[in-house]
Amino acid sequence: MEREMESDMKPGADLDVLTAASNQPPERGDIDLWAADAPLRAAIAAFGGRAGVLAGHGAALGRGEMRAAGAEANRCLPRLELFDRAGRRLDRVRFHPAYHDLLRLGIGAGYSAIAWEDAPGGHVNHAAMVYLHSQVEPSTCCPMTMTHAAIPALRKHGVPALADFWVPGLMSRTYDPADAPAAEKAGFTLGMAMTEKQGGSDVRANVTRALPDDAGWRLYGHKWFCSAPMSDAFLTLAQAPGGLSCFLVARWLPDGTRNAIRIQRLKDKLGNRANASAEIEYHGARAEMIGEEGQGLRAILEMVHHTRLDTAMAPAGLMRAALDEAHHWCLHRSAFQRRLIDQPLMRRVLADLTLDWLGALWLGLRVAAAFDGTSGEDRAFARIGVALAKFLSNKACIGVVGEAMEVLGGMGYVEDTPLPLLYREAPLNSIWEGSGNVICLDILRTLARLPLAGEVLSAEMEAARGLSHAYDAALAAHRARWPGLPPEADARWFAESAGSLLTASVLLRHQPGIVSEAYARTRLSGVRGRVAGALQGGDEGAILDLLGTGAEE
């Protein structure tokens, strides 16, 4: 019998069956990031954003060609060119064309400018663009975020002539990558060079010197991190005779010569790879002071405050992108004769992770709405809220992206999928613009020095009282544990508790029902496991529906 069966077999007859890509999800194609994201649309409506502005950008970003451009920009890394063939200094970084395509799309949509164009919901719209762009290629957010955040610093602290020249170029919706003097360009980008190797976050330890001369100021020193070194100018800190001061340093001088900024090397980073980060030295670089001499922290913190909004919003985008990939996989992959999406344990894991994404999305946009406000209460809430959102959402992001990678199994660990890129990016926003301890200590300082911040935070929490038994119990426990300011050693515990309560309050008031109650019960109570999938008692189907429009099913 065996010989008869063997004689019927022809070499290669079943090769197509053996090598067919069965039980594999289809290619994603174009994804409308706006239309497919019902929670985003709901939050934009709740907090005064403009759907018309975001709908087109979400559709454009989600096109297959743009997502392919993001992958290509991460594969083909920036290249440092220090000298030309004759040995003349260039101090130039070359990028793959895909990098420029992504910046052209983002700046053209208003990523850097929209918050300052005096239209309603400017910061909410900007934060939504951060969220959308982070899903496709997060590295290119860095130069656009810093350009956005430099505008208020220059408006508030720059001398009028300086602001009058730089601000219009920074607000331009034309991306101009030319390596040329700013006066010859249609649009500018602006970076930051603040930290030094001996101080890091303790910028008061900076030793870069600023010396006055007849033409202004010259800088001498080394910067350990210079983000986006091909920007047209940088805000930087240096020690002037009167103390630590803030300066604007252009890459090109008005006479058409290069400023004395020397790139030493590009950082070999874990993630954020499409964007160049560099070590630089100032060799008598020409600079213009921003703000008063000796008051550099006040000026630079204006920029940092606005970049922190983006670091609070980006993790929501990273979580969304990771969960969208995991959801797509589960819809189209079967194991043990059932689709993964129909298997109870997988549904519970995905539903649990979804709560972290939704919390980060709603909290980030609530904080963005406070940035749009004009009252003292709005400004105080923006200050405390952005720190809480940055801390909490970024801590959640690392775990969510890691679990989403695990959903895909071995394929999630392969660069053919976007999960490795997202995983490398997941820790970044927790580190940038103040790592976890720095942010938590800043929260305590804000509450101590700005009593109104504590008052508005308390009012925001109080507004949800009575909407959930779990929330009410957690709020009472939080206040009993810390009737006043917590000790420094409790700063992380306090920030996690306050941030989770604030998130639950936003969800309960703006998205009452299954999601908000599940968040309050699982994130505010100590009675649950410590790993994703410990969700109990919620409507998993209703939560999972928020991952997509249902069209894929």
Predicted confidence (pLDDT) per residue in 265-291, tens digit: 999 999 999 999 999 999 999 999 999
With both helix axes pointing from N to C terminus, report the angle between 344-372 and 491-510 in degrees, rounded to the nearest 10. Answer: 90
Range scoring the smallest mean pLDDT among 49-63, 65-79, 428-442, 528-542: 528-542
Q: What is the predicted pLDDT for the residue at 201?
A: 75
For domain 38-294, is the CATH number 1.10.10.60?
no
Where exactly are the structural domains of the chain? 38-294, 298-545
Rounded distance, CA 302 to CA 162, Å? 17
Residues 6+ apart with CB under 8 A from 499: 363, 388, 389, 391, 392
The predicted model gives 188-192 an average pLDDT of: 97
Angle between helices 344-372 and 122-136 (to 10 degrees): 140
Per-residue b or e along 71-109, where b marks 16 or more CB atoms closer than 10 Å to that residue's CB: bbbbebbbebeeeeeeeeeebbbebbebbebbbbbbbbb
Identify the residue whose tokens are 């890129």.
Answer: 421
pLDDT for residue 214: 86
Over residues 313-330, the mean pLDDT reads: 97
The pLDDT value given to residue 184: 96
Superfamily of domain 298-545: Butyryl-CoA Dehydrogenase, subunit A, domain 3 (1.20.140.10)
Could you tell me the CA-to-CA distances from 245 to 206, 207, 240, 426 in Å, in that order? 10, 11, 6, 33
Dist. CA 553–CA 549, nearest whole Å: 9
- Residue 377 or 227, more confident: 377
Is the predicted pLDDT of residue 3 greater than 60, yes or no?
no
Q: What is the pLDDT of residue 2?
A: 46
Q: Looking at the DSSP assignment, which residues form a beta bridge with residue 10?
A: none
Question: What integer pLDDT is reported at residue 310 of this predicted model?
Answer: 98
Compute the distance between CA of residue 430 and CA of residue 397 in angstroms, rounded to an integer: 9
Percentage of the chain modeled with pLDDT above 90: 84
Torsion of CA 95, 98, 101, 107, to 10 degrees: -60
Q: How far apart are CA 18 and CA 176, in angstroms?
A: 51
CA proximity to 395, closest of 426, 366, 425? 426
Length of the chain: 553
pLDDT at 10: 56
Q: Which of 75-79, 95-99, 251-255, 548-552 has the lowest mean pLDDT?
A: 548-552
pLDDT in tens, 426-455: 999 999 888 999 999 999 999 999 999 999
Q: pLDDT value at position 4?
A: 47
Contact 322, 401 (CB under 8 A): yes
Token pair in block for residue 160: 């009028």
For residue 167, which phi and psi values (nearest 5 degrees)?
-60, -45
Distances (CA, A) of 278 to 48, 92, 193, 194, 505: 38, 11, 9, 12, 41
Q: In this prediction, what percent of the chain has a pLDDT beyond 70?
A: 95
- At 358, list the tokens: 């939704």
Q: pLDDT band for 19, please (50, 70, 90 cuts).
A: low
